[in-house]
Structure 1
Amino acid sequence: MKLVKLIANLGYGSRKDVTALFRSGRITDGAGDVLYTDDVVPLDTIRVDDEPLDPPAGLVLMMNKPLGITCSRKDPGRVVYDLLPPRYSVRSPAMSSVGRLDRDTTGLLLFTDDGALLHRIISPKTQVTKVYEATLAQDLRGDEGELFASGTMMLESEKEPLAPAELEVLGPRHARLSVTEGRYHQVRRMFAATGNNVETLRRVSVGGLVLGDLPLGEWRPLDASEVALIFAA
């Protein structure tokens, strides 16, 4: 693929826009030498305005999603895509969130432009475990762990029971819940079914990939070894 098309696909502008970047000398190699449209160079040596070129298709990002932001492209309020560089919204193929966290849930959110990877992560067949930490409005009553692990728990308006989930009690009103499904508002609905309400909810890991100390509202790309961790747990 020619450099102009490749760089345009990464969201830096139309082919005409990218051609203008070349003509103005804003696309260089790692040594600062100006590149031309017909040059053949490794992608990891290309710079745009002295910044490394974004990774090509197959990009995977992790974000520490803050409160009050939705996983949508059309919500009238703030959306998670507002936290990414604008060019990420016009890449081809497009970047999409891997599943969703609701407006009032924080924590680990993944993005990718690899459709096959996205579907592999969210597929029920893969059974990638998602771990959430919740603070609750009332003390745990004591039987939630057994109920969640039973594989027979039914949620309102659902026709199939939930897959077994693991509850770890961290305090009277603080718990960690591991689930392998991604039903609508699942964690909140599970606690609601026991007569309790979730006050704060944070996703801390997906598979073996842990959020760690990534600051709230920040994001970073993942390398291949980190992507592999998603399927390692």
Structure 2
Amino acid sequence: MPAAPRRPPASPPRGPRHGLARVLSKRGVCSRSQAEQWIRAGRVAVDGRVVRDPAYSMAEGQGGITVDGQALAEAARVYVMFNKQRGLVVSAADERGRATVYDALVEAGLPWLGPVGRLDKASEGLLLLSNDTVWAAGITDPATHVDKTYHVQVDRLPDPALLARLGEGIMDQGERLAARKAALLRAGERNAWLEIVLDEGRNRHIRRLLAAHGIGVLRLVRVAIGGLVLGDLPKGQWRHLDDAEVAALRRR
């Protein structure tokens, strides 16, 4: 009897390859740092074999991943806007024990969500959170130039020349800091509110830019990202974005 024909070996999954921790993050189940912790703890297996290297290379669409013995499923994508109060840290856990935005959302019944960009502890306003890491990266990537609009209360009365200098920018710690737009909203006797628009964000960008011109910040509120406006969403509250809002911010 002739021997049965030999089957060719199965082709490896095609497509871009990423480290295992990044694959878990891209599928929306956890942050990359959480994925690294799970992997190092031996909770993640690929095709039945425990993998402890977060950088273990995998094809983007490759299956066979389990966490704690359960098959890893692609998480439903969730997109949320949150009106951050002053005093909250944008972090899943703070080494100094400070209150975080996740403490404010703990009873919301939401899946794991990562912040789309940052607001520092003293800043307020519109914060996006999502488990769609590709969508989030498109908003935060400096190359996409998505406008972020802030209302900033300052401790002096600016003149047109000062507003022009904010647009011209400065160098600080090796970084160029500038406003795409700086305009006076309203002025009192001793302080004023400015509208400042950035199309890329450095760490404490506005505070550093204003400090370089001798201006102190009394309040800083992000009121819009692209065409998405904070509107009348109360402080400390959140809502889901609708499909049109998600699509309008998609860059990838």
For the pair 1:194 / 2:210, whether they are aligned, the reply is: no
Corresponding residue number in structure 2 for 1:132 = 150
Query: 1:220 aligns to what SS in structure 2?
Result: strand
1:215 shift after superposition: 0.4
Q: C-alpha displacement at 1:125, in angstroms? A: 1.0
Q: 2:229 and 2:250 mapped to 1: Cα distance?
A: 12
Quote the offset at 1:223 in angstroms: 1.3
Q: Structure 2: how far apart are the matches of 1:203 and 1:97?
A: 14
Residue number in structure 2 paired with 1:213? 232
- Matched residue of 1:103: which SS? coil
Which residue in the other structure is 1:33 paired with?
none
Aligned runs of 1:151-170 on 2, under 5 Å?
153-159=169-175, 161-162=176-177, 165-170=180-185
So what's the TM-score if we normalise by structure 1?
A: 0.69
Question: TM-score with structure 2 length normalisation?
Answer: 0.64
Higher strand residue share: 2
Contact 2:170 2:178 survives alignment (8 Å): no
1:4-25, Cα deviation, whole Å (9 max, x unpaired): xxxxx989xxxxxxxxxxxxxx
* Aligned mates of 1:58, 1:177 — CA distance in 2: 31
AA of the residue aligned to 1:168: A
- The number of residue pairs the alignment matches comes to 174
Q: Helix, strand or coil: the match of 1:125?
A: helix
1:95 pairs, out of 113, 138, 144, with 113
Cα distance between partner residues in 2 of 1:97 and 1:128: 16
Closer, same or farther in 2 for the Cα pair 1:179/1:231, shift >3 Å? farther
The residue number in structure 1 matching 2:248 is 229
Offset, 1:141? 3.7
Q: Which runs of 5+ in 2 are unaligned?
A: 1-27, 31-74
Q: 1:171 to 1:87 in 2, by over 3 A?
A: closer
SS in structure 1 of the partner of residue 235 of structure 2: coil
CA deviation vs aligned residue, 1:68-88 (integer Å, no higher than 9, x gap): 101012211110011224586
Distance 1:197 1:117 in 2: 34
Is the counterpart of residue 77 in structure 1 residue 95 in structure 2? no
Which residue identity lines up with residue 174 of structure 1 in the other structure?
A: W
Unmatched 5+ stretches in structure 1? 1-8, 12-55
> Which has the larger displacement, 211-220 or 168-177?
168-177
Question: Higher Cα Rg: structure 1 or 2?
Answer: 2
Shift of 1:165: 1.4
What RMSD, in angstroms, separates the aligned Cα atoms of the two structures?
2.3
Identical pairs, percent: 34
Alpha-carbon deviations, 1:160-202, whole Å to 9, x = none?
A: x235510111123110000011101011111111111110000
Q: Provide the C-alpha distance between the structure 2 equivalents of 1:229 and 1:83, rounded to a whole number of angstroms.
A: 27
